[in-house]
Amino acid sequence: MSRVAVLGSGSWGTALAVLLAESGHEVRLWGRNRGHLEQLERDRENRKFLAGIALPAGIKVQPELEDCLPGLAG
């Protein structure tokens, strides 16, 4: 299993994160809108852009870019 960061929590980023997590990867999903990310973490679903698709357990919603890309940011 590899660790993957997806930058962008809209429809495309969420779909990519779900696909990667279902393929066995550990995914960190980052976005700019903290309120939207809180909703993603709370509901484990992107109701705004990809309603009806649950976020697998392998996806960690990450509001801080520095934590999403350890060793690469900064």
Residue type, 49: F
pTM of this structure:
0.90
pLDDT tens string 6-51: 999 999 999 999 999 999 999 999 999 999 999 999 999 999 999 9
pLDDT at 16: 98
Confidence band (pLDDT; 50, 70, 90) for 67? Answer: confident
Report H helices in 1-74.
11-22, 34-43, 65-68
CA distance 47 to 38: 12
* Domain spans in the chain, listed from the N-terminal domain onward: 3-61
pLDDT at 7: 96
- In DSSP terms, which residues pair with 61 in a beta bridge? 29
